[in-house]
Amino acid sequence: MKSAWNLVGMGLWLLLIVYFAYIIHDMRARRLRLIVTEKKSFTWHNFWISFGELAIFLLFLWGMSYATFFQDVKKMDQNRITTSYSYKPLIIRYRADQSDYVTVSNGNGRKPIQNYTYYVDGGKYMVDSTNATVVYGKSNLNIQAEAYKWNKEWLDHLDTRYQDAWVATVTTTYKKDFFNGIGLHAGRQADRFSLIRIPDKSFMNVKN
């Protein structure tokens, strides 16, 4: 477990399950009581009690589902997340016919994605086009990368220092606090995006 605060969310989900079981039991008990005491299986008073219990459950379920599964980290209060950046030079791979910094594998299907493989000091990395992009040419940013906040002066410095061959990664992590614990996110990674910079397209090995 990334943080003990996530126990808050686990406890709330358990409470929701217990409450749902209570609703089923209470509805059944009240209906049997009506049949025995009033010889009826339906009254509006009993209906509105059941409706209220179910409405509370659905409201609670919606809130927990949103907090756990549907939060958009890009629209979240920045006080609830931390953002870190890392920068590393790429290592060129020398081949007989072509030397490259990154290998691109094209996917297929209805929504194909690309997979990028590159090397830095410390190992081999594989990312895909849903959380990474490759930039080459004069600019070290493209439309996809500009969705994130970069220090452009530092990126220009990396161009000079590493001859336009580097990777920058931005990682967003949920803070370890009560509110993130409700959604079971405390201490967990929220988003990760890599900006892969190469001098030009000739340093890209594309595989179909």
- Residues 66, 80 within the same domain: no
CA distance 16 to 13: 5
For the question of whether the overall pTM of this predicted structure is more than 0.85, the answer is: no
pLDDT computed for residue 1 by the predictor: 63
Tell me if 85 is assigned to some domain: yes
CA distance 121 to 91: 7
Q: Which domain holds residue 161?
A: 76-207
- Residues 17, 117 within the same domain: no
- Residues 108, 192 within the same domain: yes
Tell me if 1 is assigned to some domain: no
What DSSP element (H or E) covers 75? none
* 3-class state of residue 150 by DSSP: coil
pLDDT computed for residue 111 by the predictor: 76
Contact 135/200 with Cβ under 8 angstroms?
no
- Residues 27, 90 within the same domain: no
Contact 114/107 with Cβ under 8 angstroms?
yes
- Residues 58, 144 within the same domain: no
pLDDT computed for residue 172 by the predictor: 94
Q: Which of 22, 49, 70 is the last residue of a domain?
A: 70
Contacts of 62 (CB under 8 A, 6+ apart): none
- Residues 136, 162 within the same domain: yes
- Residues of the chain below pLDDT 70: 1
pLDDT computed for residue 2 by the predictor: 78
pLDDT computed for residue 92 by the predictor: 94
In the chain, the number of structural domains is 2
CA distance 76 to 57: 25
